[in-house]
Amino acid sequence: MALDSETFDALLDTVRRFVRDRLRPLEAEVEAADAIPDDIVAEMKAMGLFGLSIAEEHGGLALTMVEECRVAIELGHTTPAFRSTFGTNVGIGSQGLVMAGTPAQQTEWLPRIASGDIITSFALTEPDIGSDSGAVKTRAVRAKDEAGADIYRLSGTKRYITNADKADLFTVMARTGDEAGARGVSAFLVPRDLPGVSIGEPEKKMGQKGAKVADLNLDDVPVPAANRLGAEGEGFRIAMRVLDRGRLHIAAVCVGVAERLIADCVAYAAERRQFGKPIAEHQLIQAMIADSKTEALAARALVLETAAAKDASRDVVLESAAAKLFASEMVGRVADRAVQIYGGAGYIADYGIERLYRDVRLFRIYEGTSQIQQLIIARETMKRGG
């Protein structure tokens, strides 16, 4: 259920001011420290940002998809690392639980996820399993614990797991039984404090400093059978539903970053003078700004239209993939043009453009590469055409 317009407008204005007054001034500091300040995280919790997508009965804001995307666009006006701080709680780290969790599972975990008291992560990718997500090798073997209770013993390694360094709860995809392919994959809620869970050192990344990724290692971890999400063999379907939603959220962030870059380019072009006049008066600069603005508007329209369709309970597998493909590729082009408009200054760290140029490169990879989105779009188009 959507918030009333006055309440939502107040939330959006609060987020906008938070981004402008608190987050943007800290961008260089976060880049240098590769960490989000604790006081900023506390403010995010107080604003309810960790529970944007979680039901009110569990302490969340219960935003619609359109509302969530509009908030995500505003958050895209600063370095994406800030959004990643709570992004897994809002999206891939919580939505398996929201979509497939039992009432008992939801009551146990969702209130603490919505408050930010615990951080969640989504563990699908493995060292040699990326886009072929139905081929996961992590095993979940049925067993009994010392008291005779039903458990699964999980063994394997998950790679490039966002927020793994601080996560308290992981949604883990693991293979149950002997069936090969996607039908043999099941989903589990794995608390960090179970014996056999360990986290690797955070990876050194090209961009989005402050948002950490690391390996999740599972060494014969005893997971209660009550922590399985859905039935055995439903894990892949749950993962795909989670990713469909996550792609739309990421597409909205891409729109926000593009809007930020365009605004920065317009301001810079109005001040920077060459050949006796502001470079904004040179037509080739205007062409780059025009192309960027047009693409950003198209991406915004596609994202919000798809979000509205999702809120109406329509099948948006194709549209979510298209939104993610177009928006992530679009923001890459906008960032490239921004560096060109800034010229030499665009290559210098002090201006922040090169940082955003590096930050947005990831959008074409996670939640499914652009090539995976193309396959989904083609498959769904042919399915609907048939």
Question: 376: domain CATH number?
Answer: 1.20.140.10
Does one domain contain both 324 and 348?
A: yes
CA angle (256, 258, 259) in 5-degree steps: 65
- Residue 210 and residue 79 in contact, taking contact as beta carbons nearer than 8 Å: yes
pLDDT at residue 2, rounded to an integer: 63
Does one domain contain both 33 and 91?
A: yes
pLDDT at residue 314, rounded to an integer: 96
pLDDT at residue 371, rounded to an integer: 96
pLDDT at residue 386, rounded to an integer: 60
Single out the residue in 115, 149, 172 at which a domain terminates.
115
Residue 80 and residue 90: Cα distance in Å, rounded?
14
pLDDT at residue 306, rounded to an integer: 98
Q: What's the predicted TM-score (pTM) here?
A: 0.95
pLDDT at residue 132, rounded to an integer: 82
Does one domain contain both 227 and 241?
A: no
Single out the residue in 181, 205, 231 at which a domain terminates.
231
Does one domain contain both 248 and 375?
A: yes
Does one domain contain both 366 and 271?
A: yes
Residues (pLDDT < 70) of the chain are: 1-2, 386
CA angle (14, 354, 29) in 5-degree steps: 55
Does one domain contain both 144 and 170?
A: yes
pLDDT digits (tens, 9 = 90+) for 101-159: 999 999 999 999 999 999 999 999 999 988 787 899 999 999 999 899 999 999 999 99
Contacts of 206 (CB under 8 A, 6+ apart): 358, 361, 362
Residue 367 catalytic?
A: yes
Choose, from 27, 295, 367, 380, the residue flagged as catalytic: 367
- Residue 66 and residue 72 in contact, taking contact as beta carbons nearer than 8 Å: no
pLDDT digits (tens, 9 = 90+) for 260-276: 999 999 999 999 999 99
Domain around 15: 5-115
Does one domain contain both 210 and 338?
A: no
